[in-house]
Structure 1
């Protein structure tokens, strides 16, 4: 698990003033390992002054047929003070090599007939671009409605790629664009897509009850507002899929006030091997496992990407934040190791399930 391989950069495309798309070459012997489902992401890593930095970026290229992908393309938007995004925009060039983990993530859609829709904001278009392009190409009985929100036209990522889908599938792809800080000559008025606005807008655009799957992706606030709007419109929770790209530090975090025991251990199964180790005061379970198994999977360590998902076999934990696992996953017993702290003296995790 958590295997990284070095892949060369073959293209760097400037999308906007603050975003780029990186295209990586996958050699034939690794193509099966990098086969991906539409919507998955890659973890990239580098070392700065001896400190390892990992970040996840969604794959925007269509999912491959046949023997797996010969290339992978990801979108990177600059984050203020971002150690990796700054490097990507200002330093990475063609011929450079990046350390890349195999694809992961569950914000996905296997192509199937039906009507699908997405509400995205900013760089949230990235995984949905892969989902849409794969679905429309492979499934002639599928339709897709994209509602996207951006600050201005100039800040809109993958503008040409989305326009190309509209030209290629005019009868099966519906595009609705809202700009929050700029008026459009045609289309919807500017402003935020909040719960109230979406509850009025969505039924006017498409038959909400007929949508087989809703995909919400982008900043925390937009995803929460869209989820509440869909709930108010009676959409079953099982049809709603969410992926959050940016979480404000003040965003509410689920969790328990339960305190950790004085002494606790974690037993972890990873890649077929297990071990038991004491948890140091204040450590997350992921930090404990990493001290003893550096190959444990992780990326953001912020409860957003879901890379460190593990099954809680025994014991009880407290999760500080969870913006990656859906309710069905937590009810089934999955936790985020990077956000989990022991509540019982013994905790057992299985990263292989």
Structure 2
């Protein structure tokens, strides 16, 4: 079996670029037999893609969609890319990428996952947040006959709705086990919920009318920060235990979300990093994050967004203390267990030790 190393990209050939909406595509990659165990993934995980331009290296995360592979690993991988204003990678994917091209791809990562098991599960998603949840729903219903799913999705218009036909096909295939609720914020509908945004107040009223909220075994929230935050507060107000709520945020924007104490960085801080069975210690330069220090000496350190959103740079804090600027990726249980985001962490003690292998 091939051992996956944290920061190692693999060139994969594009086999299809499928237009989903005017501003989104699905990109399919072929996986060679020797890499199928490396690219095995759980429902809900994502890939980091890389390209080089005159401005340097660009990395972006995109969620895997479709049926998750079995133990033999995938023959292909499919991700969805939505155009972002000024997006260096999304613009390339929509306007230039074609079948036959090669893209550098990191092995799957992420802990926003739902492994098939019996129970009733539900999701509140917005826009491209459907992508990881589509993988969850498809895999769960195909592999666990005693599972049910309620999918509540919000989009601007029908024309902007990604995977509209695929979700409709799932509903037709599993009419008794998939409950689908579609809302549109900028378009009136003949049937279903009234148009408008799914904010905290609306969800607090809507959810109990749709399903037995307290009986749901797991809630999965994915999309823009405002939607996820509102859904999380609504579920809290409805008495859902925090451990049943899982989230992945897209499009954070400029929210500060400072989680640290603001303590000054020690003048002579050193970080020790354990990565792929090798260790090293290096001085932290003024203003650097711990990830930046590690990358100066270990370019294979894992990262993608550098914005505290994707969680690719998650590491266990084995010694010392850190201050994190932002955290939109780690859940409270992970923080309590000692994990940090290296891309957002600054040393708060003279010695800090990170373990990327744990």
TM-score by length of 2: 0.98
Quick check: 2:45–2:64 contact (8 Å CA) kept in 1? yes
Distance 1:83 1:264, change over 3 A: same
1:178, 1:191 → 2: CA distance? 7
Q: CA deviation at 1:250?
A: 3.3
In structure 2, the residue matched to 1:97 is 102
Quick check: 2:259–2:323 contact (8 Å CA) kept in 1? no
In structure 1, the residue matched to 2:157 is 152
1:191, 1:333 → 2: CA distance? 40
2:34 to 29, 36, 50: 29
2:137, 2:263 → 1: CA distance? 43
Distance 1:278 1:216, change over 3 A: same
Q: What CA RMSD, in Å, does the superposition of the two structures yield over aligned residues?
A: 0.8
In structure 1, the residue matched to 2:3 is none
Please state whether the residue corresponding to 1:35 is helix, strand or coil.
Answer: coil
Q: Does 2:202 align with 1:197?
A: yes
In structure 2, the residue matched to 1:229 is 234
2:268, 2:288 → 1: CA distance? 12
Q: CA deviation at 1:50?
A: 5.6
In structure 1, the residue matched to 2:137 is 132
1:311 to 316, 320, 325: 316
Q: Does 2:288 align with 1:275?
A: no
1:69 to 70, 74, 83: 74
Please state whether the residue corresponding to 1:297 is helix, strand or coil.
Answer: coil
1:36, 1:252 → 2: CA distance? 30
In structure 2, the residue matched to 1:254 is 259
Please state whether the residue corresponding to 1:45 is helix, strand or coil.
Answer: strand
Please state whether the residue corresponding to 2:89 is helix, strand or coil.
Answer: helix
In structure 2, the residue matched to 1:244 is 249
Q: CA deviation at 1:75?
A: 0.4
In structure 2, the residue matched to 1:186 is 191
Please state whether the residue corresponding to 1:200 is helix, strand or coil.
Answer: helix
Please state whether the residue corresponding to 1:321 is helix, strand or coil.
Answer: coil
In structure 2, the residue matched to 1:320 is 325
1:161, 1:66 → 2: CA distance? 24
Q: CA deviation at 1:109?
A: 0.8
1:122 to 104, 121, 127: 127
1:98, 1:352 → 2: CA distance? 26
Q: CA deviation at 1:49?
A: 1.1
Which 10-residue stretch deviates more, 298-307 or 246-255? 246-255
1:164, 1:95 → 2: CA distance? 29
Q: CA deviation at 1:157?
A: 0.4
Q: Does 2:346 align with 1:341?
A: yes
Please state whether the residue corresponding to 2:217 is helix, strand or coil.
Answer: strand
Q: CA deviation at 1:13?
A: 0.7
2:114 to 88, 109, 119: 109
Runs of 4+ in structure 1 off by over 4 angstroms are none
2:296 to 280, 291, 298: 291
2:292, 2:309 → 1: CA distance? 16
Q: CA deviation at 1:61?
A: 1.8
Task: Number of aligned residue pairs: give it.
Answer: 353
1:97, 1:248 → 2: CA distance? 30
1:287, 1:51 → 2: CA distance? 16
Q: Does 2:182 align with 1:177?
A: yes
